[in-house]
Structure 1
Amino acid sequence: MSHYLPLLGILVVVAGFALRLNPMLVVVASAYVTGLLAGKSPVEVTQIFGKAFNDNRILAIVWIVLPAIGMLERYGLQQRARAVILGFRGATVGRLLVLYLLYRQITAAIGLHSTAGPAQTVRPLVAPMALAAAEKAHGELDADTIDRVKASAAATDNVGLFFGEDIFFAIGSIVLIQATLATYRIELTPIQLAIWAIPTAIAAFLIHSLRLMLLDRSLGRRGT
């Protein structure tokens, strides 16, 4: 029965979240409760925390990226992005996002997943540029249209990453697909799966590009 005691850490998590306590403190407290009930000393639990942080220290890069983006925005990054788009005569929301979709898919296909994303590019650059293109072509936008353009920018990033990353064979999703197929006695190498992901990525690009062109048309009808 004693080997079930470490599961009481789960109750700590449930109780902490139910009381709306600080999530980080709740998780740390739960980990200590679990470790102590499993027979570990406080020092050993702390050592496990330290090792886990050291093994996954690449995740801490977000604490460097986010302040950098915040500082750039404070000093006019979004305004400069809007000004660039306003300088292009034929810029539209659809054309801009199609170009971003192409960039996102190509970079994801060669393993550069972190060169773009909602925090890195969509919020500070792509969304403001798309809004500027929409305002230039169709005038002042209402709140619903602004939300629609922002959502389209975020969706473009998701589609580009999701269907582009499987072309890069050294990624976890490929390993998962390979293992799932192996349970059904279908043996494929990662490179074979990556090659077969190419037609899907092309189809996704064409379909989403069509959606973006239809977005342009719907915005045009709104302005008439």
Structure 2
Amino acid sequence: MEILKLIGVLIVVVGFILKFDTLATVVVAGVVTGLVAGLTPLEILDVLGNAFITNRTATLFVLTLPVIGMCERYGLKDKAVDFIRKLKNATTGRVVSIYLVIRSIASAFSLRIGGHPQFVRPLINPMAQGAAVARYGKIDEATEDKIKGLCASNENYGNFFAQNCFMGASGTLLIVSTLSEQGYPVDALQIALWSLPIALCAVIVGTAFNLLFDKKLNAQYKKSGTEGKK
């Protein structure tokens, strides 16, 4: 009956399908798995506590959420709009493309600038939204969601495709160790150098996509007759 110990996986799958609370689903799955495995309630709590302490750094981003909420509540987006209006020819795609370049360079040198919760949500997204508002006036909720997705995707492009340009990056070292085990003698410098063209391609393609997004946005609001309304 060892297969019963996998019941936690089933609980997680069912919980996600039914859109139950994620944290509650995972905890319930852990508790049920522990009981099926023959652990006592105290032993289960001990395992959960040790797991939390060991991986507590993964939850540090939660501390940034109240700060972001306060900034948005007290005019972060409005200030971003005012700032963007002072810039000439600023568009959503151009703002996000500048960030893509910055993010790629930072990743190539293994410089951590915050990512989604600390940088994209409180700074880049309001600036990108502000550029759209400054150009087209009030934008609808669907457009806001598209801009949010655009900002998030560029964070992923810049981080994922450029991080292996750094010799000491975990991904670079993993590639080196894996290829070495398979009989392909490589070193971290080789992997880093071959990652440069990939990062450059990501920046070029990402920028082209962002500028195409500008054209689509311009066509959308020109068609609706709202361009330039404040």
Same fold per superposition (TM over 0.5):
yes
Deviates more, 1:75-84 or 1:136-145: 136-145
> Kindly, what percent of the aligned residue pairs are identical?
37
- CA distance in structure 1 between the aligned counterparts of 2:4 and 2:216, rounded to whole angstroms: 59
Cα deviation for residue 58 of structure 1 reads: 0.6
Cα deviation for residue 197 of structure 1 reads: 0.8
Cα deviation for residue 91 of structure 1 reads: 1.8
Give per-residue Cα distances to partners, 1:9-68, cap 9 Å, x unaligned.
344445656776544333223323322333433222222212111111111212211111
- CA distance in structure 2 between the aligned counterparts of 1:186 and 1:168, rounded to whole angstroms: 20
Matches within 5 A, 1:49-198: 49-113=48-112, 115-139=113-137, 141=139, 145-182=143-180, 184-198=182-196
Distance change >3 Å, CA 203–CA 72, structure 1 → 2:
same
Give per-residue Cα distances to partners, 1:59-110, cap 9 Å, x unaligned.
1212211111111111111211121111112322232222111111122222
Which stretches in structure 1 are left out of the alignment for 5+ residues?
none
Distance change >3 Å, CA 29–CA 199, structure 1 → 2:
same
Distance change >3 Å, CA 171–CA 49, structure 1 → 2:
farther
**8 A Cα contact 1:12 1:30, kept in partner:** yes
RMSD: 2.9
Which stretches in structure 2 are left out of the alignment for 5+ residues?
224-230
- CA distance in structure 1 between the aligned counterparts of 2:84 and 2:17, rounded to whole angstroms: 47
- CA distance in structure 1 between the aligned counterparts of 2:157 and 2:187, rounded to whole angstroms: 25
The letter for the 1-side match of 2:68 is I
Give per-residue Cα distances to partners, 1:99-141, cap 9 Å, x unaligned.
111111122222234x233333333322232232234345554
Partner of 1:207: 205
- CA distance in structure 1 between the aligned counterparts of 2:213 and 2:14, rounded to whole angstroms: 46
The alignment of Structure 1 onto Structure 2 pairs a total of residues equal to: 222
- CA distance in structure 1 between the aligned counterparts of 2:7 and 2:151, rounded to whole angstroms: 43
- CA distance in structure 2 between the aligned counterparts of 1:138 and 1:62, rounded to whole angstroms: 33
- CA distance in structure 2 between the aligned counterparts of 1:162 and 1:93, rounded to whole angstroms: 22
Q: TM-score, normalised by structure 1?
A: 0.80
Partner of 1:45: 44
User: SS state of the match for residue 89, structure 1?
Assistant: coil
Distance change >3 Å, CA 99–CA 40, structure 1 → 2:
same
Q: TM-score, normalised by structure 2?
A: 0.79
